[in-house]
Structure 1
Amino acid sequence: MTAFSIVLLAMIAAFLGMRLYSVLGKRTGHEQEPVLPRERSTTPPVRLDDGDTPPSMLAAAPDASGLVYEPAAEAGLRQLLATDRSFDAGRFMEGAEAAYRMISEAYWKGDRDTLRDLCDKDSYEAFVAAIEARAARGETLDNRLIGIDSAKITAVDLDRNEARITVRYRADISAVTHDADGKLIAGSMSDASQTDDLWTFRRQIGSSDPNWLLDEIEAA
């Protein structure tokens, strides 16, 4: 997938807002205190705000696709958790993976209604411009997200009341382009390519809006 920078005002349609609300950090008041698991597995989660956590539990984890965050992001995650007690890294990553799929598929399909719901004015217009340029060439995309091989938080930055989280996605995508006559001009449905992109999400800390906004996309 071509990497490009965008500012995305995420999940403002009622259905999508509710969907991402449930996976990007919603808390009902009945869960345990926020934790920051290093892996999505049955391994006991690691609390980054617990001074009694053994040093061995905070050591850099091995490089594996199940990791929630990379060691370089740990300090920023500590700071975020100390500032926003409602944050849950595991839930954030579940929502971030869902957002990756929804946003990608909406763009590939040229689904303007969905993009309008997901984007602010500038980013919506950027998407529309790309879709219209594609249509002017008489091209259509038949892209498929085969799977997300790895999704990890690589950086966390706090600036005043805004948090920014960068996620690195490695995914297999089958990218196929057809011309106006339906002739295959690029790609192959049987030969997926691996992408390596960085998506940065942002959110106002303490905001009543639970949604994280996609701020930019770039190649890793």
Structure 2
Amino acid sequence: MFLLVILAMIAGFMALQLYRVLGKRTGHEQPLPKPAEDRAPLTLVPRPVEAIAESREPASRLVEPKAESGIRSIISADSSFDVARFLQGAQAAYRMILESYWQGDTEQLDWLTEAGVRDAFVAAIDERKEAGHKLENRVVSIEKAIVSDAVLDGKVARITVRFDADIVAITRDAESVVIAGSMTDAVETHDVWTFTRTLKSSDPNWKLADTDEA
């Protein structure tokens, strides 16, 4: 009988330990977020819990010195923000916005850009159509994308990115005759684009708010 009592106590202890381990929530009971299907060039996916413990200092090779303070402020206000992922999204947005402009796709420009930038693009598209010109441009490569400035104004974050890219640019007239550019020679371009977003808003997308040449 004494042996049975001891065995029962051991079994009860093991059952309690299993409950303590298996009965706890791990934080992953909810479905993992799914990637956006078509339109999330600048959607930032929260990092796994295991990765949050690593240093959140802005990487010097991705951020110019004058932008580091602003990036730290943005990270402090939104712990899900990640510089590397933002720049990956910014490069995707750079391609998508340019391609939308070249192709005259105003619908896609609606959700990729702020109103002022969109209106400027649409005006240029309309002027191009009126002249009967067509663009056959493409981004050959993005050689560099680096954060050159960053500001947090209340809940609104503004991040400026410098893009160094090679672009093939051809303009044809109404008869499809090439009037400018070459398919064999890429043009070296240097653009400075500013993206904006209200942190922790329901819209996860960053939008292009300003454009300039470096």
Structure 1: runs of 5 or more not aligned: 1-13, 36-45, 50-57, 62-66
1:160 aligns with 154
Counterpart of 1:32 in 2: which secondary structure? helix
Q: 1:73 to 1:28 in 2, by over 3 A?
A: closer
More helix by share: 2
- The one-letter code sitting in structure 1 at the alignment partner of 2:67 is A
Q: Which runs of 4+ in 1 moved over 3 A?
A: 14-17, 28-31, 116-125
Counterpart of 2:110 in 1: which secondary structure? helix
Among all aligned residue pairs of Structure 1 and Structure 2, give the percentage whose two residues are the same amino acid.
Answer: 44
The alpha-carbon deviation at position 101 of structure 1 amounts to 0.4
Q: RMSD of aligned C-alpha atoms?
A: 2.3
Equivalences for 1:191-206 in 2 at 5 Å? 191-206=185-200
Q: Point out the structure with max Rg over C-alpha.
A: 2
1:47 aligns with 56
* Count of residues paired in the alignment: 179
Higher RCO (C-alpha under 8 Å, 6+ residues apart):
1
2:211 aligns with 217
Q: Provide the C-alpha distance between the structure 1 equivalents of 2:133 and 2:178, rounded to a whole number of angstroms.
A: 10
Q: Provide the C-alpha distance between the structure 1 equivalents of 2:111 and 2:71, rounded to a whole number of angstroms.
A: 29
Normalization by structure 2: what TM-score? 0.75
Q: 1:112 to 1:76 in 2, by over 3 A?
A: closer
Q: Provide the C-alpha distance between the structure 2 equivalents of 1:166 and 1:145, rounded to a whole number of angstroms.
A: 20
The alpha-carbon deviation at position 141 of structure 1 amounts to 0.5
- The one-letter code sitting in structure 1 at the alignment partner of 2:65 is P
Normalization by structure 1: what TM-score? 0.73
The alpha-carbon deviation at position 29 of structure 1 amounts to 5.0
Equivalences for 1:102-117 in 2 at 5 Å? 102-117=96-111
The alpha-carbon deviation at position 138 of structure 1 amounts to 1.3
Counterpart of 2:205 in 1: which secondary structure? coil
Q: Say which of 123, 140, 145 aligns to 2:139.
A: 145
